[in-house]
Amino acid sequence: MDFDLTEDQQTIRSAVRELAGKFDDQYWLEKDEAHEFPWEFYDAFAKGGWLGITTPEEFGGAGMGITEASIILEEVAASGAGMNGASSMHLSIFGMHPVIKHGSEELKARTLPRIVDGSLHVCFGVTEPGAGLDTTKITTFARREGDEYVVNGRKVWISKAVESEKILLLTRTAKFEDSPRKTDGLTLFLTDIDRAHMDVRPIRKMGRNAITSNEIFIDDLRIPVADRVGEEGKGFKYILDGLNPERMLVASEALGIGRAALRRGVQYAGEREVFGRPIGMNQGLQFPLADSLAHLDAAELVLRKATWLYDNGRPCAREANTAKYLCADAGFTAADRALQTHGGMGYSEEYHVARYFREARLTRIAPLSQEMVLNYLGEHVLGLPRSY
């Protein structure tokens, strides 16, 4: 077994680490507190060509795999940028996979080059208030009228909708009760966010405040047929193609946050003196930090296996879900322990671990909860009866 990164992957890690390191914790604290999109950071990565790492070369990208994408997002998060930094580019790096795989040549030609150069921001519109993780129960409906669809409905927890020009929008084109299978009748579009027919409302939330999360109310939005991704009624199948990579990328971001938090915790434990000695000498603080190092390292190995399997065309659902589960838990635990190591000062924004804590907590919820991962592993890996 070979655990070495390739020369290209090592170069990617070093280059991304150097670029992300130019934006320090104070930068991210200020962006988070101001609820301001990190344009300088995003533009730097767009200029460096990193947004197109997985986009095919014929559209200006590098045509690399999910392993390279995961390395980029891990290093971004580990720099201290956390979820604010990773979420600013997450969808650009891999979220367009359904379009790459199933979109028309015309749709790809007019959108993918702009994804690569950073000029096109896209958000992903799937989740709805009444459906949650049961995507087949969404009710946003697209009614065909000639060469257009007329769409009405509501979406929630849509990241970057305020900053985005387009939305990758999942709708129903046949009602749930009229569909032979519950996954039938769902259609995917990549279309303009028409503010005259889409009311975008930011949600006040606990963390990751440099990147908006939004409710979207859609009222008689007209979408050209040319904006449809693939065939009508097969949208659920198309978004499934991106679910395992999404789990891997969130896992890499959780891993990066955990590394950043652990680095802060270790630094403080080595410098802070109480009763005439560094607090890191106390095993009550040293052991939890060392335990987090071990768990982060172990979670990383599962993540590397998952991305390798995917890039080599092998089944990877078990590993992708396991990586998301373990990295999210390890990252959050490391952030919690870093905060605890700082004592009262950990509750202060001055030392940045409070921000890491808030953002690491998100990875245990999104893109699916830890409990839903266990549901998957219980049913599809262990063969137990479906629990929901």
Assess whether pLDDT exceeds 90 at residue 2. no
CB 165 within 8 A of CB 192: yes
DSSP 8-class letter at 57: G
pLDDT digits (tens, 9 = 90+) for 307-362: 999 999 999 999 999 999 999 999 999 999 999 999 999 999 999 999 999 999 99
Domains of the chain: 7-117 (1.10.540.10), 122-235 (2.40.110.10), 240-381 (1.20.140.10)
Confidence tier at 195 by pLDDT (50, 70, 90): very high
Sign of the CA dihedral running 69, 71, 76, 78: positive
Rounded CA-CA distance 90/54 in Å is 11
Confidence tier at 16 by pLDDT (50, 70, 90): very high
Two structure tokens written together for 138 = 């969404």
pLDDT digits (tens, 9 = 90+) for 154-187: 999 999 999 999 999 999 999 999 999 999 999 9
Rounded CA-CA distance 316/299 in Å is 15
CB 83 within 8 A of CB 109: no
Two structure tokens written together for 95 = 């979220």
- What phi, psi does 154 have (nearest 5°)? -150, 135
| Residues constituting the chain | 388
Outline where DSSP puts E strands in 208-311: 213-224, 228-229, 273-274, 277-278
By CB atoms closer than 10 A (0-12, 13-18, 19+), residue 267 is middle
Q: pLDDT at position 386, please?
A: 93
- Parallel, antiparallel or unpaired: strands 166-172 and 122-125: parallel
Confidence tier at 259 by pLDDT (50, 70, 90): very high
3-state secondary structure of 234: strand
Residue 52's nearest CA partner among 114, 109, 3 is 114
Rounded CA-CA distance 32/354 in Å is 12
* Residue found by looking up tokens 């999109």 in the block: 37
* Mean pLDDT, rounded, of the chain: 96
pLDDT digits (tens, 9 = 90+) for 100-147: 999 999 999 999 999 999 999 999 999 999 998 899 999 999 999 999
Rounded CA-CA distance 302/293 in Å is 15
Q: pLDDT at position 123, please?
A: 96
Q: pLDDT at position 3, please?
A: 86
Assess whether pLDDT exceeds 90 at residue 226. yes
By CB atoms closer than 10 A (0-12, 13-18, 19+), residue 203 is exposed
Q: pLDDT at position 37, please?
A: 98
Two structure tokens written together for 332 = 């959050």
Residue 229's nearest CA partner among 152, 184, 297, 171 is 171
Confidence tier at 242 by pLDDT (50, 70, 90): confident
Q: Mean pLDDT throughout 55-60? A: 97
